[in-house]
Structure 1
Amino acid sequence: MVSLDVTETSKSLAVAGGYVTFFGVFSYFVKEKLFVSEALIALIVGIITGPVALNWFNPFEWSEDQSYLTHQITRVIIAIQVLFTGIDLPAKYLKKEWMSLATLLGPIMTTAWFVTSLLVWGLIPGLTFLESLVIGACVTPTDPVLANAICKGRFAEKHVPLHVRNIIVAEAGANDGLGFPFLFLAIYLILIHEPTHPQHNIGGAIGEWFYNIIFYQVTLASIIGAGMGFLARKLLRFAKHRQLIDHESFLSFGIALTFFTLGWVGMIGSDDIFCCFIVGNSFTWDDWFRLETEEHGFQDVIDQLLNSAIFLYVGAIIPWSDFTKYGLAPWRMVVLGLLVMLLRRLPWVWALSRWIPSLKTTRESLFAGWFGPIGVGAVFYVQVALDALPEDGTREHLREVLLPTVYFLVFTSIVVHGVTVPLGKSAQMARSRTLQFTNSQSRTSTNTGFVSSNDRISRLPPPVMIPRTDSPVSMRDRDSTMNGNQTTIKFDDQVSAGMSNNNGSKSANHSRSNSRRVSLDKQNNDTNTNSPSTSSTAAAASNNEHRRNNDPNADQGEDYGRETAADRMKGRIWREGSHLVKESEDGEKVTILR
């Protein structure tokens, strides 16, 4: 007799597989046309299909210890994401951008911790400030999973400069492992009141914190990660050059390295999350592995599956019933969520932007300050805190409000950051339509003869554009004037150029935006061909021609002289307020033109 076998495993696989399949059919339209965050959709589907609504799958029935299960799932997801983040960064990125990362991971992260803790202390009743520091530490790190979702896609690649995307994901990868010092400083100060704890004074707690966290976890993890990444890179290059490794193993080397690092560094009790980030940076320090694998899209596939799975899971385990217990109230949670979004990070990134060289303009500082999402990392740190806090009843209220408060902030961040881009794009489209309508009305009025008395209509014939075959002038010489020969460059408000790599390989994060022309209009006011400046210019051209004829390597670029004007024109140019900003092909050099 045929019987149904409706197990929790079968239901969970059906929901996860059905979501990925159905969403995949419309994924391009949703992400590239509507600009809706993939994490937001997965979270909503998890809430609907989870135990709070349809109950199609229930993670609370997967294991008797659901907290341990959540801890291990989030640990693996974050480790994979931070190692892939390290691999995706440009060569020697930590060395080049050390000052930007030091500012973001030092004063800004510390300020965000204190500000969030103050908000929690003021809005969640019954907590001491020391207990609020524990909750604030859980939501201080920027989530690498959500940061990757924000910094990828057509909208990000078209509108967000590459150097801004790089610094956001680099900070997210680093500070997710650096959340331990903030969390355990508060926990060690709490544990000094426990009779079973060896330290019973503040000095002893600080000393224990320095030894266990700063030295054994952070410093040791950095040393281990740098060594492992270096050895893995040398080993893989040796195997590749000797043709000892097949294609499939080569592509999966990164994720295998993640599991190996996570396993044995976790066994010795060090910071395995931060170690994975350092391993990823050291492994691709010379950019070789990233350039070899970027065309295959293996990491993007893993990102897609992991993001879908983890946010389905998070949506299903949100403790909705706890939001009205333990002295909590919906209005308190909503106010707390909005204030944390506004004050946790945004003002401090903007205020300290002068010490963040990666952020060149005010708009870039505001963007990086706003997009510091709270996500899977906060769920991970909640479980770490619950394991470390005493269970003797002395901190029972903290244990009760810790999980619902952090989960509500995670939910708020996913929703707010998920709808920011669609709302911003809708406002931009509405403004464009308004301008188009105004311009069409103005043209209609002009054509019908109804012109305001303040308008002036030129009766001169329109200018004639003379086509030129000259090479584009240098950006540096855009305002130069030489004996009446004036060179002018006219930029459109949205000028941009596609970034391509001269060595035949393109970066995974390079912009795919369409190239637009930069129009050059050169007006010659002096037609005297016998002037000294013209003669000197002709002589210089003759010398260059003579050099090219006698030296076949003369045109090989920077090895034999200055870069050409065409090379300097490559990159991406956009208008930032009243300034024109140019970004180099690799996204590492940004120049304010005027």
Structure 2
Amino acid sequence: MISSGSWVQLDFGPSAMVPLLLGTFAVCFGLVSMVVKERLFLSDTLVAMLFGVAAGPAGFGAVDAGKLVDVPSFTLELTRLIIAIQVMAAGITLPKKYLLTELKSLLMLLGPVMTWMWLTSAIIIMLVFRLGFVESLIIASCIAPTDPVLANSIVRGKFAEARVPQHVRNIISAESGANDGLGYPYLYLALYLLKFSTGEALTRWFAVVVIWQIALSIVLGALIGWAGRILLQFARRKEWIDHDSFFSFAISLTLLTLGIVAFVGSDDILACFVAGNSLTWDDWFREETVESHFQDVLDTLFNFTFFIYLGNIIPWGTLSGGSGLLTTGRLVTSAILILLFRRLPATLAVARMTPALQTFREAIFAGWFGPIGVGAVFYAMVAQKELEDHVFDGMRVKEYLLPIVLSLVIGSVFVHGITIPLYHIVSAVPNASVAVTRFLSRTPSESSSNFRFPFGPRALSISAPHPRIAAISNSARRRESALGIVSSSCPASAESTLLEPGFGGSSSNSSGSRGPENLPNYGTIAKRNI
């Protein structure tokens, strides 16, 4: 920047530093992105957040976003836009009539599982921070939805394509897209219970939230997506729309849906997801745009921007030494307990009633990977805005809301971001590889001939293991034998990879046995199979 009457000077202001930092990260990360994501198996969101921390007040202090923008309002609108784009993308990528064909699975995950996530998180927050139960419900409602941005990084990439079946990836995407718009009923039920009498709270909640926000948004989203599909097909037949406009149509429809639904005061996030699925209801748009990466590029840039921004604005001073019971130890304790018990037990409990989760292994994967991210920050901003009402004056939830939610987002980004690398490291150790593989490959029939899942009408015992599971067990026994571990008397006669075919593995038959002189190279096995 050149100023009048002076020599050229370096500009360390935000107009230079913000694009400099964003561009530096995008260029440098892009050059090594394959190494980071496909070899180290680290999530780009984790790396972006760490970069934001390093560039912010807690690090080198290059940029302090808190001094450049009004953090609450800017964060609210930024997260709204990012989530809307992501849930629209989730709806578009789902197969033909997916919401209808997998309705039972979605109802199980969006009903019992999400309610469990809300109540369990509230109980943990209440016990750790000694808040009232309804106050804890407000905070828990922010983290009840799974995050579509972090879920998208889980279901895409080399590891997911090789190890996670398509139907599991689809149900994770569908759930994260749908339940991000379903956080409103949980949040406003808790807010209304604090603000009004019980009867009035329930009446307002049903009329305003359930009917006007949820039901109306589903109808509007379906109509907007249907109209968009009809008009787009008509314009394509008439050759009125060019190539670039066709591939950017989903982004345009996202903005239109946001505007229309927000104008009538309904749930714009849920409407975007429904509109995306309605747009590709007959699979035409999805198949036409399957080779287009325009939206992926836009998603990546938005995600980089947000997580760098998030790392920059995290109030580390509050998280490291808050007042009262808001201490680092309690924040860490609550994060550990919530990540362990918030989702996994409920997913395993309803696995037998969820057709999209066909094995115990798939239920574990779907139960563990329910990340907390952009959606939690969005609902925290919505809750903070609602708590400005004088009715909530003096309540500790106003002070505790953001630190607890942000600490959980940090914990989820970190833990879920390193889960896959840790899985590879553990699986590279011979004994651990056998143990992990045998545990994840279990079915009820392998534990006991009389084992029953105690939930639902499908709680039936299984008389014999699936042939795939038998092959995995044989492989594990051979490895135990090669290591000198005492195993069962059932011999292994066929060689199989650690992963069943549905998870990207393949099996091959070979005869003969391995002697001590032919011990397998476990580093090669782990690299090939895990």
Asked whether the 8 Å contact 1:262–1:272 carries over to 2, the reply is: yes
Deviation sequence 1:197-240 (CA, Å, 0-9, x none): xxxx2111111111110001000000000011001001111111
Deviation at 1:58, TM superposition (A): 1.6
Other-structure match for 1:570: none
What are the superposed Cα offsets for residues 432-477 of structure 1, whole Å, 9 maximum, x if unpaired?
Answer: 89889x999999x9xxxxx9xxxxxxxxxxxxxxxxxxxxxxxxxx
Matched, 1:428 2:427: yes
- TM-score relative to the length of structure 2: 0.81
Q: Deviations over 1:106-138 (max 9, x none)?
A: 11111110110010011113x211111100101
Which amino acid in structure 2 is aligned with residue 49 of structure 1? A
Which residue number in structure 2 is paired with residue 247 of structure 1?
243
Residue 573 of structure 1 is matched in structure 2 by: none
Aligned partner (choices 140, 147, 160) of residue 143 of structure 1: 147
Distance 1:434 1:376, change over 3 A: closer
Question: Which residue does the alignment assign to 1:309?
Answer: 305
Alpha-carbon deviation of 1:403?
A: 0.5
Moved more, 290-299 or 165-174: 290-299
- State the Cα deviation string for residues 125-176 of structure 1 (Å, max 9, x = none): 3x21111110010111000000001111101111111111111111000000
In structure 2, the residue matched to 1:54 is: 60
Question: How many Å apart are 1:191 and its aligned residue?
Answer: 1.3
Looking at structure 1, the residues matched to 278 and 267 of structure 2 have their Cα atoms a distance apart, in angstroms, of 16
Out of 322, 326, 343, the residue aligned to residue 323 of structure 2 is: 326
Q: Is the 8 A contact 2:497 2:507 kept in 1?
A: no
- Which residue number in structure 2 is paired with residue 230 of structure 1? 226
Describe the SS at the equivalent of 1:26: helix
Provide the rounded CA distance (Å) in 2 between the counterparts of 1:134 and 1:412.
19
**Aligned amino acid, residue 145 of structure 2:** P
How far apart are residue 357 of structure 1 and its match?
0.7
Aligned partners of 2:426 and 2:432 also within 8 Å: no
In the alignment, what sits opposite 1:276?
Answer: 272
1:95 and 2:93 matched? no
1:364 partner letter: E
Which of 368, 371, 374 aligns to 1:373? It is 371
Q: Map residues 35-434 of structure 1 onto 2, 5 A cutoff.
A: 35-63=41-69, 65-125=70-130, 127-192=131-196, 201-323=197-319, 324-327=321-324, 328-392=326-390, 394-431=393-430
Q: Which runs of 4 or more aligned residues in structure 1 lie more than 3 Å from their structure 2 counterparts after TM superposition?
A: 432-436, 438-443, 493-498, 515-521
- Given that 1:78 and 1:376 are in contact with CA atoms closer than 8 Å, whether structure 2 keeps it comes out as yes
Q: Percent identity?
A: 44
Letter in 1 for 2:402: L
Whole-angstrom distance in 1 between the partners of 2:494 and 2:293: 38
The whole-number CA distance in structure 2 between the counterparts of 1:413 and 1:182 is: 21
Partner AA of 2:188 in structure 1: F
Tell me if structure 2 keeps the 8 A contact 1:145–1:375.
yes
Q: Residue 491 and residue 234 in structure 1: after superposition, are their counterparts in 2 closer, same or farther (change >3 A)?
A: farther
Which whole-Å CA distance do the structure 2 matches of 1:38 and 1:5 have between them?
29
Cα distance in structure 2, aligned partners of 1:22 and 1:307 = 16
Cα displacement (A) at 1:518: 5.5
How big is the shift at 1:492? Answer: 2.5
Confirm or deny: 8 A CA contact 2:88 2:273 kept in the other structure: yes
Give 1:493's match in structure 2, choosing from 478, 493, 497.
497
Contact 1:191–1:390 (CA under 8 A) maintained in structure 2: no
**Structure with more strand by fraction:** 1
Superposition deviation, residue 245 in structure 1: 0.7
1:266 and 1:252 mapped to 2: Cα distance? 22
Deviation at 1:491, TM superposition (A): 7.0
Alpha-carbon distance, 1:431 to partner? 2.5
Distance 2:431 2:31 in 1: 30
The answer to whether 1:22 aligns with 2:21 is no
Identify if the C-alpha distance between structure 1 residues 378 and 397 changes in structure 2 by more than 3 Å, giving closer, same or farther: same
CA contact (8 A) 1:495 1:518 kept: no
Q: Is the 8 A contact 1:326 1:401 kept in 2?
A: no
SS at match of 1:141: coil
Equivalent-residue separation in structure 2 for 1:250 and 1:263 (angstroms): 20
User: CA offsets per residue over residues 73-128 of structure 1, 9 Å max, x none?
Assistant: 00000000000000011111100100010011011111110110010011113x21
In the alignment, structure 2 segments of 5+ residues that lack a partner are: 1-6, 435-474, 485-492, 512-530
Please say if residues 86 and 277 of structure 1, whose CA atoms lie closer than 8 Å, have aligned partners that are also in contact: yes
1:433 to 1:359, Cα distance in 2 relative to 1, 3 A: closer
2:497, 2:506 within 8 Å by CA — same for their partners in 1?
no
1:54 aligned counterpart, secondary structure: coil
Question: Are the aligned partners of 2:87 and 2:272 in contact in 1 as well (CA < 8 Å)?
Answer: yes
Kept in 2, the 8 Å contact 1:221–1:275? The answer is yes
Counterpart of 2:372 in 1: which secondary structure? coil
Give the match's secondary structure for 2:84.
helix
- 1:568 match: none
Q: Do the aligned partners of residues 432 and 253 (structure 1) sit closer, same or farther apart at CA in structure 2, a change above 3 Å counting?
A: farther
Q: Which residue is 1:506 aligned to?
A: none
Letter matched to residue 63 of structure 2: F
Query: Structure 2 counterpart of 1:248, which letter?
Result: D
Distance 2:63 2:402 in 1: 21
Structure 1 440/173 Cα, relative in aligned 2: closer, same or farther at 3 Å? Answer: closer
Following TM superposition, by how much is the alpha carbon of 1:496 offset from its aligned partner in structure 2, in angstroms? 6.7
TM-score by length of 1: 0.73
- 2: distance between equivalents of 1:439 and 1:490? 9
3-state SS in 2 of match to 1:368: helix
Distance in 1 (CA, whole Å) between partners of 2:209 and 2:432 is 55
1:434–1:130 distance in 2 versus 1, CA, 3 Å: closer
C-alpha separation between the residues in 2 aligned to 1:67 and 1:305?
Answer: 21
User: For residue 472 of structure 1, what is the aligned residue in structure 2?
Assistant: none
Structure 1 residue 396: deviation in Å?
A: 4.2
Distance 1:440 1:255, change over 3 A: closer
Find the residue that maps to 2:72 and give its secondary structure: helix
Aligned partners of 2:426 and 2:433 also within 8 Å? no
CA RMSD of aligned residues (A): 2.5
How far, CA to CA, are the matches of 1:517 and 1:434 in structure 2? 17
Contact 2:143 2:405 in 1 (8 A): yes
1:9 aligned partner: 15
Q: CA deviation at 1:37?
A: 1.0
Shift of 1:374: 0.3
CA distance in 2: counterparts of 1:374 and 1:188, whole angstroms: 24
Unaligned runs of 5+ residues in structure 1 are 193-200, 446-450, 452-488, 499-510, 522-594
Structure with bigger gyration radius: 1
Alignment CA distance shift 1:209-1:395 (3 Å): farther
Write the mapping of 1:532-547 to structure 2, written as runs, cut at 5 A.
Answer: none
How far apart, CA to CA, are the structure 2 residues paired with 1:133 and 1:4? Answer: 50
